A and B are shown apart, each in its own frame.
Chain A
Amino acid sequence: MRIVIIGVGKVGMTLTEYLSAEGNDVTLIDTDQEIIDNAVNSFDVNGIMGNGVNFSVQQEAGVAHADVVIATTYSDEINMLCCLVAKKIGVRHTVARIRDPEYSRQFSFMLGEMGLDMIVNPELETAREISRLLRYPYAIRIDTFAKGKVDLAEMKIAPDSPLDGMQISDIQRKLQVRILVCAVQHGDTVYIPRGDNVLYAGDHIHFTASHRDLNAFFRKMGAFHHKLKNVFIVGGGRIAYYLARQLIDLGMNVKIVEKDEARCKFLKESLPKAQIVLGDGTDQTLLAEENFADTDASIAATGIDEENIILSIFAIQQRIDKVITKISKTTLTDLLEAVGLDSVVTPKLFTANLILSYIRALQSTAGGSVQTLYKLVENQVEALEFHVEKESAVTAKPLRDLNLKKDLLICCIIRKSNIIFPGGDDVIQPGDNVIVTTTSEKLTDLEDILK
């Protein structure tokens, strides 16, 4: 695929890394020569310095023959304009990052009329992920497949957990819940499990389950008998805005601490049910005054990573049930687990995952196209959802007769509203959605699961 990325910030750089590693022809456009030089040195891509809205710059970048243009500059308006120009030049697909809540209500208009094929809103996606985590606080991370029918959760096995020392094939029988473990991180190694693998305390497991089973499973794990009710958000940016809107709808009490007075007024105006506090969220006196220690969940979502980390460490000390930290730089993630911060959300990764699944879907050939894609365990595992459109090599035979690749697991088949954890006798049918996890090379089509 020929892909042009306009605006090489955090998201642009992450996409550049993923997309070029998958063998796509990537060309970058940015106004900063230094950023271009840096990217060209680090990845096998081409770069052009210039304004991405400029017709001739886009022509030089080969937009006329490109498959996808992705606009991820700092400004929503520039992104829209880039895509509009690119569409006129003749690119087939456009993706724009649009963040402003004001535009988020008119996405359908923009998709139809403004030459955009896909819109991503990192802050909205982040808010959704945080809200999922607050509903299932025992999970470190929750993603959803099949329009929310199936959840993919990550959890760390506690030292006194019943899972410690349990064989994977025994989980369903012993705990009486239907979950399927689809990837395990044990120390520094990652593996796609088979029935005879044994889990240990300290392992991170990734598993799929329906909402009901997920609830039941977490109850069996013995934590959080009460629902989280009071949520404390520090930093009143876009994430806080989107998140508060969702949490208020779920009936939670939301308190937002924000430094900027004008922003506070805006938040109060648009979120009348939320409690808005003007002040510095890292100030301990303020936190004490606002009863921080008694809250159920703390969400550090300021624009500064360091502040977020410090606040979250403080929150853990105060024994707050659920602590979520927003981090922009991924270089720090290893450190965070060491200091006890499990639930870390990174907006750029959500955006990159979304765009990546969109591009994989464009590349699919026959058997079934990618619907959703998540990268797990620092990109070592991919979890993909395919939609099976018609008969193909994978639908012909029961699973036991398919010659599947190594390091690959068919986790789940979603047939209408049923969730099937497949055994050897099951057959994939047209119309199904199939969820697969793999550590091997990239899959663009369901047929790629075969050797």
Chain B
Amino acid sequence: MNVRYIINMLGKLLFIEALLMLAPFIVAIIYGENTIIAFGISMAILLMVGGVSLLFPPKNNTIRAREGLLITGLAWILMSLFGALPLWLSHEIPHYLDALFEVVSGFTTTGASVVLDVEAMSYSCLFWRSFTHFIGGMGVLVFALAILPATGTQSMHLMRAEVPGPSVGKLVAKIRLTARLLYVIYVVMTMILFLLLMIGGMPVYDSLVTSFATAGTGGFSVKAASIAAYANPYAEVVITIFMLLYSVNFNLYYLILIGKAGSIFKNEELRWFLAIVASAITAVTINIYPLYQNFWHALRDSSFQVATILSTTGFATANYDLWPNFARTLLVILMFLGACSGSTGGGIKIARVAVIFKTAVNQVRKQLFPRTVVPVKFEGKLLGDQMQSGITSYMFAYIAVVIFSILLLSFDAFSLTTNFTAVAACINNIGPGLDVVGPTGNYAAFSPLSKIVLIFDMLAGRLELFPILVLFAPVAWKKN
């Protein structure tokens, strides 16, 4: 194992985090807030710890899948541990564990909060909270690959461990250019969203942090009532559209950039995604219409809620906990599906769901006609055994993590609905669930143990389990 490479890479990432913390630092200066000290101390600590790693330059740049997974897992944990410092040092979140929960929720683009009164927090801390969504959405390692000079020829292992989805495709031959293109697309889309929100009358600061939260499909809002607080139908529609845009595979935007816009609808995952979005919105609209008695309002609320859940963002414009049972159940099911692979969204991912569905249908056919040859095809290509077994084992690990988490949460005295949707909302990086953790609720009431379990779930969900699970596997740390 190339320990020096791992240490060096982690050090560089902490430097990058210090650099990113400059943004809330500047916000603190602009608003003249005393959080400036908390951010200053945090940045100093990051630079110091990162600097130590420079004493161990790597002897060679050879890394394998193992190093890729370990770096990714450790990087996200370290970034969260240090990222929580300013919130805790500024006393805005008095307990370190709560601050950690909040920042992990930020980096993993979950949006689950333990803050009771959001509107009492300082501008700079709220900015940092939302900014972590933006960083975590596309990924910090992808950012590092985009800006750092040569990281070795095998850095694909780093990218694969961080970018969601069963298979990661490069846009272009060079990994560095790929990472840059992804970030350019990401930043430009976010700037467009920011402008559109400002034009719609949202304050500049709110537009900015809402854009960050939408881009990362995160869901932190600076208002207690989330997006509903703005009472701005235009902004709701814009955010709905962008939440869906951010849950599409970014490779498709690259196709548009190089003038192959026509070929994006050949993407099977996108077609599944659009079909699911359309049918879910229709079903929910019909189901909640009696409550609203106004078709356009019902459509607006249902499409916003479907988009926020499916894209795993976690904003809210309506308290869907008060909706009929069918709509509530459907939304919980959508939580598990999630966004497309290669997007900033979480969840199981449409590609995996589609493959599992097709495999199941094929099995039924095979039971009836045992001798027929029925290969599973996805994206026009035959699925290899490795891909299929990869998806199956992913699903098993996923279900196991969900079950154990619910079991551990049951020590707290909440209902099964609360525990189940809390785990679902965290591992799928959504944020709000039902009941106690519903759109108007909060995670503050959970015990420290439950919070640690949920922190684990959020990280495992964002990194698609394995980079986090391997940290607990003794074999990963053995010399050979």
Q: A27-B173, A41-B154, A42-B154 are in contact. List 15 more A-B contacts (CB 8 A).
A: A2-B173, A25-B173, A25-B174, A40-B156, A41-B64, A41-B65, A41-B156, A41-B157, A43-B153, A44-B153, A44-B155, A44-B174, A45-B173, A46-B170, A46-B173
A45-B170 Cα distance, complex, nearest whole Å: 9
Partner of A44, one of B65, B175, B381, B384: B175
- Chain B residues near A46 (CB-CB < 8 A): 170, 172-173
- Chain A residues near B172 (CB-CB < 8 A): 25, 46
A33 part of interface (Cβ distance < 8 Å):
yes
Q: C-beta contact mask, A39-82 vs B, less than 8 Å → 1, else 0?
A: 01111111001000000000000000000000000000000000
Separation in Å of the A342 CB from the closest CB of chain B?
A: 28
15 contacts between A and B (CB under 8 A): A20-B153, A21-B153, A27-B173, A41-B154, A42-B154, A43-B154, A44-B153, A44-B155, A44-B174, A44-B175, A44-B176, A45-B173, A46-B172, A46-B173, A49-B381
Segment 144-179 of B: residues with Cβ below 8 Å from A: 153-157, 170, 172-176
Query: Closest chain A residue to B175 by CB distance?
Result: A44
- Chain A residues near B65 (CB-CB < 8 A): 41
Segment 22-71 of B: residues with Cβ below 8 Å from A: 64-65
Kindly state the interface size class of chain B when it binds its partner: 10 to 19
Separation in Å of the B179 CB from the closest CB of chain A?
A: 11
A21-B61 Cα distance, complex, nearest whole Å: 13
A21-B152 Cα distance, complex, nearest whole Å: 10
- Chain A residues near B173 (CB-CB < 8 A): 2, 20, 25-27, 44-46
Q: C-beta contact mask, A70-104 vs B, less than 8 Å → 1, else 0?
A: 00000000000000000000000000000000000
Query: Closest chain A residue to B155 by CB distance?
Result: A44
- Chain A residues near B175 (CB-CB < 8 A): 44
**Which of A2, A20, A45: most chain B Cβ within 10 A?**
A45
- Classify the secondary structure of B's interface with A: loop
Separation in Å of the B376 CB from the closest CB of chain A?
A: 15
B-contacting residues of A (Cβ < 8 Å)?
2, 20-21, 25-27, 33, 40-46, 49
- Chain B residues near A20 (CB-CB < 8 A): 153, 173
- Chain A residues near B156 (CB-CB < 8 A): 40-41, 44
- Chain A residues near B64 (CB-CB < 8 A): 41
Separation in Å of the B96 CB from the closest CB of chain A?
A: 39
- Chain A residues near B154 (CB-CB < 8 A): 41-43
- Chain A residues near B384 (CB-CB < 8 A): 33
Separation in Å of the B388 CB from the closest CB of chain A?
A: 13
- Chain B residues near A25 (CB-CB < 8 A): 172-174
- Chain A residues near B381 (CB-CB < 8 A): 49
- Chain B residues near A33 (CB-CB < 8 A): 384, 386
Separation in Å of the A263 CB from the closest CB of chain B?
A: 37
Separation in Å of the A411 CB from the closest CB of chain B?
A: 30
A20-B172 Cα distance, complex, nearest whole Å: 13
A66-B213 Cα distance, complex, nearest whole Å: 39
Separation in Å of the A330 CB from the closest CB of chain B?
A: 17
A42-B175 Cα distance, complex, nearest whole Å: 12
- Chain B residues near A26 (CB-CB < 8 A): 173
A2-B386 Cα distance, complex, nearest whole Å: 30
A236-B173 Cα distance, complex, nearest whole Å: 40
Which 8 residue pairs across A and B have the least CB separation, nearest first? Answer: A25-B173, A46-B173, A44-B153, A43-B153, A46-B170, A44-B175, A27-B173, A26-B173
A26-B155 Cα distance, complex, nearest whole Å: 16
**Which of A25, A26, A46, A49: most chain B Cβ within 10 A?**
A46
Query: Closest chain A residue to B168 by CB distance?
Result: A40
Q: C-beta contact mask, B243-286 vs A, less than 8 Å → 1, else 0?
A: 00000000000000000000000000000000000000000000
- Chain B residues near A44 (CB-CB < 8 A): 153, 155-156, 173-176
A3-B65 Cα distance, complex, nearest whole Å: 26
Separation in Å of the A34 CB from the closest CB of chain B?
A: 8
Query: Closest chain A residue to B171 by CB distance?
Result: A46
- Chain B residues near A49 (CB-CB < 8 A): 381
Separation in Å of the A389 CB from the closest CB of chain B?
A: 31
A45-B154 Cα distance, complex, nearest whole Å: 10
Query: Closest chain A residue to B178 by CB distance?
Result: A46
A43-B173 Cα distance, complex, nearest whole Å: 10
A21-B150 Cα distance, complex, nearest whole Å: 11
- Chain A residues near B157 (CB-CB < 8 A): 41
Query: Closest chain B residue to A33 by CB distance?
Result: B384
A124-B373 Cα distance, complex, nearest whole Å: 46
A20-B174 Cα distance, complex, nearest whole Å: 9
**Which of B157, B172, B173: most chain A Cβ within 10 A?**
B173
- Chain B residues near A42 (CB-CB < 8 A): 153-154
A26-B174 Cα distance, complex, nearest whole Å: 8
Segment 362-416 of B: residues with Cβ below 8 Å from A: 381, 384, 386
A26-B173 Cα distance, complex, nearest whole Å: 6
- Chain B residues near A2 (CB-CB < 8 A): 173
A33-B154 Cα distance, complex, nearest whole Å: 18
